[in-house]
């Protein structure tokens, strides 16, 4: 075992941690890990296991109650269970389906808690009927209630099982690829895949056909579900791969006949959703062909509920959705989170700066009060604002309206340039909330909803997430790790002498994915022996928050004995008032020779701030050059 390194005493502990009897972890000790294994860093935070059965005592407590009997079968429904009974008895169990921390139970004073509510995972559709006729989705086709989505999804799941000849109504993790626009049809296809016991594999309409074929083939999809407008596009490729295509009608076009058609259709029989595969999202990483990241229903629920708690999602919220639906940002953060709590999601078919501003400033219900996007979208919105909202009285109105009616604006998926953050704050009065996540881990770090947000940082760990910054070295006995910092939602402890030191970010918790699809060796290589996922991102913990410096393999440049963060160089460049975008590349030799064309004088700007770190003066060209 490596020598023991004492941690900083007096580490911050939240009041909740003290109440729960947590010891002062400032007295813990951290080994300098070695011998080919990452050993425990002080006390390992135990994540409670979730039994496959109902909550302890629930069956006895409710043995004479119709709602209680229904509760057990609701979470673990038999194959012969008719939908008619589901709809009727769900109303009797509304208190359980809410799943809110501390939600009062009307029977004998029982209260659901976060621990009790997380004993087993359940897909979001299991909560849908609890919200009934409340509007779930608004798209180009109209409004869709939670009941509408449930019925349409159930009908589609029936068709999926019919096409695949599955009489048991449980596809047992067969993959279902689906190609849908940004509207309610996406939700219907996703939920239907889950209702059938399958794994949802979203396809992106703008990807080239070769890439769509790769995803269908690599995931070994048994079926492709396609919206009517995409059937002609995907059918030839699916036929070539020997995969059937099931057309999906436009949302809301089923009519009353569809309700009768699904009245007696049973849901998939599943004793526990916890370890069941939920979705495969493809990520390219930095090398090789895209890998399918398989997340379980537990993983998806952990990310969803963590964000719901941290960002205080409520059923009254209305989010405007403008992102693609083949990444975690668009799928979980902007879609499953609102659907989990019974909120409303307004979905635009494509991003349009004009339409986004129109929705922001509309007084028509449902009124947007939550927005999330990537930095590029915020830059486009700023550009539109500068062109069309130049009058002072209009600018005053925009700022006042946004401050009064919008409660949360989030930026993610890429580093947010400080000038964009500052400009957006001056326009809307909102400091964008920055967070950190990736396909394999969902969301891991976030700036606070309430309190100061540090520009450029990604805040602190989300509920249920453990993070660690460590340096890996090769020794004769194997791989060794030195811990710089380790933390969770209750606080972070830093090894003395490592404050602000960079290392690889490791993540552990129920949100971390199950595997890379059909890539066992790559899955094994992605984790430490005791279960930490190696993100491949260089990070540092300083001033009470975490900072992402970039991809270790491509964004950390060694020059003159220093390690330079390409993201930091980019931040410095983007702080220049005349720079709107950057692009980096490697060159042979000590510098680059510029080609013909005008140049922008940037001498003294980024290099003056970091004179020893920048290898040479950047060459900056105007867009016309």
Q: Tell me: the pLDDT tens digits for 521-566?
A: 999 999 998 899 999 999 999 999 999 998 876 654 544 444 455 6
> Helix 418-428 vs helix 375-388: angle between axes, to the nearest 10 degrees?
50
| Weakest-pLDDT range from 270-279, 374-383, 428-437 | 270-279
Q: For 417-443, what is the mean pLDDT?
A: 97
Where are the strands (E) in 11-129, listed by range?
29-31
| Mean of all residue pLDDT scores within the chain | 77
More confident residue, 2 or 621: 621
- By CB atoms closer than 10 A (0-12, 13-18, 19+), residue 342 is buried
Q: What pairs with residue 104 in β-bridges?
A: 111
Tokens 């300083």, residue?
542
More confident residue, 91 or 474: 474
Q: For 291-298, what is the mean pLDDT?
A: 97
More confident residue, 9 or 585: 585
Q: What pairs with residue 408 in β-bridges?
A: 370
Using one digit for the tens of pLDDT, what is the confidence trace for 441-478?
Answer: 999 999 999 999 999 999 999 999 999 999 988 776 67
- Provide the pLDDT for residue 474: 75
Using one digit for the tens of pLDDT, what is the confidence trace for 212-245?
Answer: 999 999 999 999 999 999 999 999 999 999 999 9
| Weakest-pLDDT range from 209-213, 513-517, 617-621 | 617-621
Percent of the chain clearing pLDDT 70 (strictly above):
65
Main-chain dihedrals φ then ψ at residue 394, nearest 5 degrees: -70, -45
| Contact assessment for residue 104 and residue 98, using Cβ atoms and an 8 Å cutoff | no
Beta-carbon contacts of residue 257 (< 8 Å; ≥ 6 apart):
none
Beta-carbon contacts of residue 454 (< 8 Å; ≥ 6 apart):
447, 543, 545
Joined tokens for residue 594: 């510029």
Main-chain dihedrals φ then ψ at residue 324, nearest 5 degrees: -60, 155
- How many other CB atoms are found less than 10 A from the CB of residue 461? 26
DSSP of 283-315, one letter per residue?
E--SSSS-EEEEEEHHHHHHHHHHHHHHTT--T
Q: Which conformational region is residue 487 in: left (phi greater than 0), alpha (psi within -120 to 50 degrees), or beta?
A: beta
Q: For 298-324, what is the mean pLDDT?
A: 98
| Contact assessment for residue 479 and residue 512, using Cβ atoms and an 8 Å cutoff | no
- Provide the pLDDT for residue 38: 34
Using one digit for the tens of pLDDT, what is the confidence trace for 54-86?
Answer: 444 433 433 334 444 443 344 444 444 444 344
More confident residue, 51 or 133: 133
Q: For 195-219, what is the mean pLDDT?
A: 96
> Helix 566-574 vs helix 418-428: angle between axes, to the nearest 10 degrees?
50
């Amino acid at each position: 075992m490596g020598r023991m390194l004492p941690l900083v005493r007096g580490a911050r502990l939240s009041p909740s941690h003290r109440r729960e009897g947590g010891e002062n972890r400032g007295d813990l000790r951290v080994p300098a890990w070695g011998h080919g294994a990452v050993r425990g860093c002080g006390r390992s935070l135990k994540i409670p296991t979730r039994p496959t059965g109902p909550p302890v005592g629930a069956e006895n407590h409710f043995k004479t109650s119709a709602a209680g009997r229904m509760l057990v079968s609701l979470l673990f429904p038999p194959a012969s269970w008719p939908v008619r009974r589901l709809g009727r008895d769900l109303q009797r169990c509304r208190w359980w389906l809410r799943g809110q921390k501390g939600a009062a139970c009307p029977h004998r004073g029982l209260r659901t808690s976060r621990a009790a509510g997380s004993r087993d995972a359940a897909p979001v559709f299991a909560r849908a009927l609890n919200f009934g006729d409340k509007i779930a989705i608004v798209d180009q086709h109209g409004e869709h209630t939670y009941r509408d989505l449930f019925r349409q999804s159930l009908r589609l799941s029936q068709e999926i099982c019919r096409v695949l000849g599955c009489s048991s109504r449980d596809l047992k993790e067969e993959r279902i690829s689906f190609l849908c626009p940004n509207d309610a049809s996406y939700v219907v296809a996703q939920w239907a895949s889950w209702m059938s016991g399958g794994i949802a594999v979203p396809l992106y309409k703008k990807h080239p056909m070769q890439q769509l074929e790769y995803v269908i083939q690599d995931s070994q999809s048994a079926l492709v579900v396609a919206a009517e407008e995409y059937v002609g596009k995907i059918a030839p490729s699916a036929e070539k791969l020997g995969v059937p295509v099931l057309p999906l009608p436009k949302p809301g076009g089923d009519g009353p006949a569809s309700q009768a058609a699904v009245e007696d259709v049973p849901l998939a029989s599943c004793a526990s959703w916890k370890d069941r595969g939920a979705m495969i999202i493809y990520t390219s990483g930095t090398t090789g062909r895209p890998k399918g990241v398989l997340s379980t229903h537990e993983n998806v629920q952990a990310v969803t509920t963590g964000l719901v708690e941290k960002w205080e999602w409520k059923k009254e919220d209305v989010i405007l959705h403008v992102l693609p639906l083949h990444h975690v940002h668009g799928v979980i953060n902007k879609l499953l989170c609102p659907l989990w709590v019974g909120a409303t999601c307004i979905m635009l078919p494509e991003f349009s700066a004009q339409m986004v501003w129109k929705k922001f400033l509309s007084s028509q219900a449902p009124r947007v009060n939550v927005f999330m996007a990537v930095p590029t979208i915020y830059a486009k919105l700023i550009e539109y604002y500068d062109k069309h909202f130049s009058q002072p009285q209009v600018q005053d109105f925009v700022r006042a309206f946004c401050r009064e009616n919008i409660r949360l604006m989030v930026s993610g998926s890429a580093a947010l340039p400080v000038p964009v953050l500052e400009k957006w704050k001056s326009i809307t009065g909102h400091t964008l909330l920055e967070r950190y996540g990736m396909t394999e881990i969902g969301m891991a770090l976030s700036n606070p909803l309430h309190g100061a947000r540090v520009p450029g940082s990604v805040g602190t760990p989300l509920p249920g997430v453990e993070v660690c910054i460590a340096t890996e070295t090769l020794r004769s006995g194997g791989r060794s790790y030195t811990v710089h910092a380790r933390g969770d939602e209750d606080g972070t402890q830093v090894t003395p002498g490592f404050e602000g030191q960079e290392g690889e970010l490791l993540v552990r918790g129920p949100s971390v994915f199950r595997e890379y699809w059909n890539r066992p060796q790559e899955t094994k290589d992605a984790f430490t022996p005791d279960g930490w996922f190696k993100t491949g991102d260089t990070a540092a913990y300083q001033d009470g928050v975490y900072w992402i410096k970039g991809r270790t393999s491509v964004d950390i440049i060694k020059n003159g004995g220093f390690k330079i963060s390409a993201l930091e160089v980019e931040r410095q460049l983007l702080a220049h008032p005349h720079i709107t975008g950057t692009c980096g590349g490697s060159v042979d030799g000590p510098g680059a020779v510029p080609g013909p064309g005008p140049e922008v004088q940037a001498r003294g700007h980024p290099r003056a701030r970091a004179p020893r770190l920048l290898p040479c003066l950047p060459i900056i060209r105007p867009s016309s050059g």
